[in-house]
Amino acid sequence: MTHFSDILEGDDIYFRDRWQFEQKYDFLPDPELATNEYTQDFYFFIPNALQINRNTYTIEQFYKDQTNMIRSKTPVFSLKEILDLNNSSSPLARIDGLKDEEQNTVTQSLIEKEVKLLGNVVRSAIRTNAQELSSLLEQELYDEFIKGCHEMCDELEEYQNTFEGIKKETADKWDTPSIHKHFEYMTTFLNHVVNQYLILLLERIRYSDDQKFQEIDARITEMLKTTQKMITDKDLSDKREGEKIIYRKSLLNKFFVYALLLNTDRFSPGQRYQNLTGAIAAGIAMLVFFTLFVWQGQFFLINSTPFIVITVFLYILKDRIKEGIKTFTHHRTLGWFSDYTTKIMSPDDKSVLGVLTEKFSYISEDEIPEEISTIRSREFDSMMEDYKLPETVMYYTKKMKINQKPRELEARRFMLNVIFRFNIRHFMDKASNPYSPYLWLNEETGEIKVWHLPKVYHLNIIVRTTTKQPGKKPKKELSKVRIVADKSGIKRIEYP
């Protein structure tokens, strides 16, 4: 599996680069509940050969390697729905209406927000369309695939003509550099998006190598030639030009995608309240110490040996009680505080939409829930099913609570997209070389040959998602992925 195939296959978990993988989860709050809540439990099963443990891989390092992003999920539109200027939800229709409104900072801000939202919904629509077409091709539904490709090309051409028309009309009415830049960014962004998905479809068409695809091949090819000329008219073998293209594409992605990100305030409650918890722990320990100190004074003289020995013992006990209480407040299941708490702000930043809490720890085999253990055990190599490789198990849980109902927010942007991104580079510090020599006899020549075979490690991750439902038992979803990696990074992601 490659990153490019992930794009068309639409996997929820995929790798971004050779070290990072990403998991996405869509969360739609139920309007019937006063508070919506969901929990995700991640169980990481790491081979002991990688020597990952409490001493070599700390909690602090885990949070450095991990990233949580929370954003409004891109509203779902088809290209036809976006093109419908009578559709009041379509960003393109709203831009068309706003361009004739009174010219002030409020209207300008609304136009710019709709342009950013338009970039996201158009990309999502094109991606979904391309994924559906790719699925038809895999099912060998060639006639439906060819028809769908032509319809997609027609809609893309119609969109480009409509957008450029609205862009020109807006430029004629609004002498505002910021708005002009937003439209230009949108044009360039669309060119990159169209090029990305059309060329992936074209690659799959040519892989099929069927004569019936010649016409649609030619049409997509012509569209790509036009689009690529608008991106650059220079040779990509020029490294500097290549740098510019990727750099600009990256900036455009951030410009549009970040428009959906929700502002957050992340902090560690344990660190924020460490002085308070330290004071409480010290106070309780001192109370126990002083009570026992006074009590033992009733039986021994102050300057006697037993009194001194017991007092020393009580002092040690006081110190251990204080440290024990501090440890208790951070315990994985009994602790008062999470490792981190994140306040999620509403899209308008005027109120707290919800709260995300996180905790991480190492757990023993006995602490693994039976349903998780069952899923893990059934996937061992069939040749060695009675032998389970020793593993280190890391447990990470995050809980999200949403306190506002959909009707209180903009309907187009209430579903949340929660992204968990993780970097495994530190997991592979102790890994062996990517290739291991293996001797093999050539049966025909009798020659002994040395093959360098891949040496990989399997990092298994099981995710349990629990969502509360009104009047029902909590809904649970279980998923498992296997990250196949070596010393040089992630090779692929499997779904056993």
- Per-residue pLDDT tens over the stretch 414-453: 677 888 899 999 999 999 999 999 888 888 888 999 988 9
Q: Look-up: residue for tokens 């949070």?
A: 63
Closest by Cα among 6, 1, 2, 8 to 131: 8
| pLDDT for 383 | 43
Token pair for 230: 């608008």
Q: Are residues 279 and 315 in the same domain?
A: yes
Answer whether residue 384 is part of any domain. Answer: yes
| pLDDT for 379 | 58
Q: Are residues 345 and 245 in the same domain?
A: no
* Domain that includes residue 416, residue range: 3-73+337-494
The helix (H) or strand (E) run that includes residue 417 is strand 416-423
**CA dihedral of residues 161, 163, 165, 167 (deg, nearest 10):** -150
In this predicted structure, the answer to whether residue 276 has a pLDDT above a threshold of 70 is no
Angle at 270 between CA 267 and CA 272, to 5 degrees: 60
Contacts of 200 by beta carbon, 8 Å cutoff, 6+ apart = 4, 7, 8, 130, 134
In this predicted structure, the answer to whether residue 187 has a pLDDT above a threshold of 80 is yes
Domain boundary among 227, 257, 287: 257
In this predicted structure, the answer to whether residue 268 has a pLDDT above a threshold of 80 is no
Q: Are residues 252 and 289 in the same domain?
A: no
Answer whether residue 269 is part of any domain. Answer: no
Over residues 81-101, mean pLDDT: 92
What's the sign of the alpha-carbon dihedral 168, 173, 179, 180?
positive
Q: Are residues 227 and 94 in the same domain?
A: yes
Q: Are residues 236 and 370 in the same domain?
A: no
The confidence band for 5, taking pLDDT boundaries of 50, 70 and 90, is very low
Q: Look-up: residue for tokens 């569209």?
A: 223
Number of domains the chain contains = 3
Q: Are residues 204 and 221 in the same domain?
A: yes
Answer whether residue 487 is part of any domain. Answer: yes
| pLDDT for 336 | 60
Q: Are residues 210 and 101 in the same domain?
A: yes
Q: Are residues 173 and 234 in the same domain?
A: yes
Closest by Cα among 330, 339, 393 to 362: 393
The confidence band for 284, taking pLDDT boundaries of 50, 70 and 90, is confident
Q: Are 281 and 273 in contact (CB under 8 A)?
A: no
Answer whether residue 395 is part of any domain. Answer: yes
The helix (H) or strand (E) run that includes residue 41 is strand 36-47
Over residues 458-462, mean pLDDT: 92
Average pLDDT, the chain: 83
Q: Are residues 347 and 321 in the same domain?
A: no
The lowest-confidence range among 157-166, 346-355, 377-386, 457-466 is 377-386
Token pair for 135: 């699925």
Neighbour-count burial for 347-372, b at 16+ CB within 10 Å, e otherwise:
beeeeebbbbbbbbbbeeeeebeeeb
Answer whether residue 197 is part of any domain. Answer: yes
Q: Residue 107 is which amino acid? A: T
pLDDT tens digit string along 238-267? 788 888 888 999 999 989 988 888 888 887
Per-residue CA distances from 387 to 367, 379, 383, 438 (Å): 20, 12, 9, 24
What is the pTM assigned to this prediction?
0.76
The lowest-confidence range among 118-122, 337-341, 376-380, 430-434 is 376-380
In this predicted structure, the answer to whether residue 411 has a pLDDT above a threshold of 70 is no
Q: Look-up: residue for tokens 């509940």?
A: 33
Answer whether residue 317 is part of any domain. Answer: yes
Q: Are residues 321 and 198 in the same domain?
A: no
Closest by Cα among 43, 70, 42, 40 to 465: 40
Answer whether residue 266 is part of any domain. Answer: no
Q: Are residues 162 and 223 in the same domain?
A: yes
Q: Are residues 43 and 165 in the same domain?
A: no
Token pair for 359: 């905790």
